[in-house]
Each structure stands twice: as C-alpha cells, then as structure tokens.
Amino acid sequence: MTGENGVLIETKGLKKSFGELEVLKGIDVQIKKGEVVVIIGPSGSGKSTFLRCLNRLEEPSGGQIIFEGEDICSSSANINLLRQKMGMVFQQFNLFNHLNILENITIGPRLVKKADEKISAENAMKLLDRVGLADKAQEYPSRLSGGQKQRIAIVRALAMEPDVMLFDEPTSALDPEMVGEVLGVMKDLAEEGRTMVVVTHEMGFAQKVGTRVLFMDEGQILEDGTPDQIFNHPQNPRTKDFLSKVLNCI
C-alpha cells in the first residue's frame, strides 16, 4: 500500500533535538516507491539521525512521518508492525553475537511473523546463496570478516521482506577492500527495483546507483536532485564546497 503518486515515505517538518542541540530542523521529503535515495553531507549534518527517525529508533521531537499512508508517530501506530516493513542495515552490522548466521536471519521471521521454522530456513539459505555466503550458515558472527557480516546483515533485513531498506553508513566501518562486496549487493538490490534510503560517504555509489541524491547540512536538506544535477551541476555553495572536498581530496 502506498500513498498518492507512489509515495512510500513522507516527512513533514521532521525535527529532532538532543537536549539543547537541534539536529534536524524541519525536514520535508517524499520518497517514492522504487527510488534509491542517497543522502550525503558532512559528518554531524543529521543524515543518520534522519534515517533513524524513519523507523523511530530515534523518537522525533516534532513533525510527521507518514509511511504507507500511516502516521508512524501517532499513538495508534503499531511501530513493531511498521518496522517489519522497513529493513535496516547498521554501520556496526549489529549481528546477534550469540546466534549463528542462519539463526540471525531466521529469528526475525520466526519471532515476529511467526513463520514456519523450515520455510524461514529455506528462505534464509536462498538469500545467503544470493550474497555468496551459503557456506557460512552455521558459523558464528565472530568468525566472519566485516564485509561478510554486513552482507549477512543485509540478508537479515531482507528476510523480513521489507518494503524499504534503510542503510546507515553501511560501509563506513569496513576495511577498504571489503567495501566493494557490500556495495555490490546493494547495487543488485537497487537494480531489482527495491526502494532504498542510503546514508553514505561513497560518492561513487551515490553517482552510479542512486536515482536521487539529497545533500544535507546542519539539519536541513540543502539540495535534492538527480545524481547528475548534484554532482555535475550543484547549485548550493555548501554543496559545491562539500563535493570539492570529498571528490578532490588530494
């Protein structure tokens, strides 16, 4: 179910403060079904906070978030049900350390959706096969590399069959040689038409895979456009400044 014109997520005047510090200063944005929205911007600009507000891991201080036509901040909203439809991938992977890989993937469907154990295991194996990690099903997270962990984390989110995938700097904690394998999986997801919201510092990914790029700074979206517009014809001086720093760092 989506709102008008295929809008999946809409925020209206979304605000978030931590004590005195106002991190989000009123964000209005619409994310449509099938879009790959990449959010870029300097550290501390509120990108991650924005993303974490979308599934209420952070409680917004003001404004509205409408997901599939429902205000997720209203007291009647069933946040646990809504979160099932929003997969999330974290910078620090956050695999469940006490469970093996297969259990990591099936625990969500089994506990939350009451899925059959056998069927959820079969689904998990199919997904693991897709990311090339089927042979790791019985391993524990501590035995995997960062890149492998993050691919598992993506699979764990996918196993819930979400309508949108949220990525919070998924490659920032990885060794450089492992960034590619994770971005590769994300690119595949984008190509099959999944709705994705990605906070990242990988400008190449934003340019090549993103269908839309948001530039955030100081708690506001300063520029919103196609990758071509943002990277090749930025309008806002702060966008220009940021891009010149990250694209020509030497």
Partner 1 sequence: MGIWEILAQYYQYFLRGTRTTILISLITVFFGFLLGCVIALLRLSKNRLLNGFAGLYITVLRGTPLLVQLYIVYYQLDFIPFPKMTVLDVALDRALPCAIALSMNSAAYIAEIIRAGIQAVDIGQSEAARSVGMTGAQTMLHIVMPQAIKNILPAIGNEFVTMIKETSIIQYLGVSDLMYNNGIVVSATYNPLPCYYISAIIYLILNLVAGKGVNIFERRLKRSDR
Among 5, 80, 118, 248, interactor with partner 1 by CB under 8 A = 80
Q: With respect to partner 1, which residue has the nearer C-beta, 143 or 208?
A: 143
Distance in Å, CB of 160 to partner 1, minimum = 5
55 binds partner 1 (CB under 8 A): yes
107 binds partner 1 (CB under 8 A): yes
Would you say 204 and 17 are in contact if contact means Cβ atoms under 8 Å apart?
no
Distance in Å, CB of 235 to partner 1, minimum = 35
User: By rule CB under 8 A, what count of residues binds partner 1?
Assistant: 28
Which of the stretches 16-24, 85-93, 188-196, 218-226 binds partner 1 when contact is defined by CB under 8 A?
A: 85-93
Q: How many CA atoms lie within 13 A of 157 on its CB side?
A: 27
Please, which of residues 159-218 interact with partner 1 by CB under 8 A?
A: 160
96 binds partner 1 (CB under 8 A): yes
Q: With respect to partner 1, which residue has the nearer C-beta, 2 or 100?
A: 100
Among 51, 124, 157, 214, interactor with partner 1 by CB under 8 A = 157
Q: With respect to partner 1, which residue has the nearer C-beta, 156 or 238?
A: 156
Which of the stretches 36-44, 153-161, 217-225, 240-248 binds partner 1 when contact is defined by CB under 8 A?
A: 153-161
65 binds partner 1 (CB under 8 A): no
41 binds partner 1 (CB under 8 A): no
Per residue, what are the HEC states of the chain?
Answer: CCCHHHEEEEEEEEEEEECCEEEEEEEEEEEECCCEEEEECCCCCCHHHHHHHHCCCCCCCEEEEEECCEECCCCCCCHHHHHHCEEEECCCCCCCCCCCHHHHHHHHHHHHCCCCHHHHHHHHHHHHHHCCCHHHCCCCHHHCCHHHHHHHHHHHHHCCCCCEEEEECCCCCCCHHHHHHHHHHHHHHHHCCCEEEEECCCHHHHHHCCCEEEEEECCEEEEEECHHHHHHCCCCHHHHHHHHHHHCCC
Q: With respect to partner 1, which residue has the nearer C-beta, 109 or 210?
A: 109
94 binds partner 1 (CB under 8 A): yes
Measured CA to CA, the distance from residue 90 to residue 101 in angstroms comes to: 16
Which of the stretches 18-26, 107-115, 124-132, 222-230 binds partner 1 when contact is defined by CB under 8 A?
A: 107-115
Nearest Cα neighbor of 91 from 140, 146, 137, 43 is 146
Which of the stretches 16-24, 82-90, 221-229, 230-238 binds partner 1 when contact is defined by CB under 8 A?
A: 82-90
The one-letter code for the residue type at 88 is: M
Residues that bind partner 1 (CB under 8 A): 55, 57, 80-81, 83-84, 86-88, 90, 92, 94-98, 107-108, 111-113, 140, 142-143, 153, 156-157, 160
